[in-house]
Amino acid sequence: MTSHRTTRAGDSSDLLFLDIDGVLHPVGADYSFGSRFFSHLPLLEELLREFRSVDVVISSDWRLAESIEQLQRYFSEDIRRRIVGATPLINPDTVVQHRRQLEIQAWLDGNGHSDAKWVALDDWPESFEAGFARLVLTDPARAFDQDSFQELRSHFLRFAVSRYSPLDR
């Protein structure tokens, strides 16, 4: 496994593992694209601007075709620097349950973030344990909408509250 990351280390321990298809733009049942690519990115960037301590790691299959630098270009200039890496690929010939979850854990362990506060934003439930608490699941036909916005925001709020909790000092 190779760990994909940029030279910039994240300044915080708060992380969002981000899928793209079915999250930043809708996909149909036949996996066709119903709207322009990245049509829901402005809504996610709005939330990231509110929570500046959260960095982003790409967990999407897009990481297999494009470099981090190429992926950063889809984001607004103020958000680009917060795209700090991409999860490694677990051997695709190996049948693995909960593949994305394991790739995320491999990234966390390989980059010294084992104790990080993190959440995954994805439309692929089979790639995570059932009922996984760190997953905000989008409907691929709707992508990142107001419901997933509010759910992700609640995770980010918990990150912020725990940072100022007397128990964490």
| Per-10-residue mean pLDDT, the chain, length 169 | 40 86 84 74 98 97 95 97 95 81 96 95 95 96 96 96 66
Degrees to nearest 5, angle at CA 3 with 36 and 39: 10
State whether the Cα torsion 94-95-100-102 is positive or negative: negative
* 3 state SS of 27: strand
**pLDDT value at residue 23:** 96
Tokens 């759910």 belong to which residue?
151
* Among 42, 71, 34, CA closest to 145: 42
Report yes or no on whether pTM surpasses 0.85: yes
CA distance linking residue 75 with residue 96, whole number of Å: 31
Residue 18 CB partners (closer than 8 Å, separation 6+): 24, 44, 56, 57, 58, 59, 60, 120, 121
- Give me the pLDDT at residue 69, please: 96
CATH entry 3.40.50 includes domain 4-164 = yes
Give pLDDT, residue 33.
60
User: In this structure, what are the phi and psi dihedrals at residue 113, rounded to the nearest 5 degrees?
Assistant: -120, 30
Predicted pLDDT at 125: 95
- Decide: helix, strand or coil at residue 50: helix
Give the integer Cα–Cα distance in Å for 111 and 4.
Answer: 10
CB proximity list for 89: less than 8 A, separation 6 or greater = 1, 2, 63, 64, 103
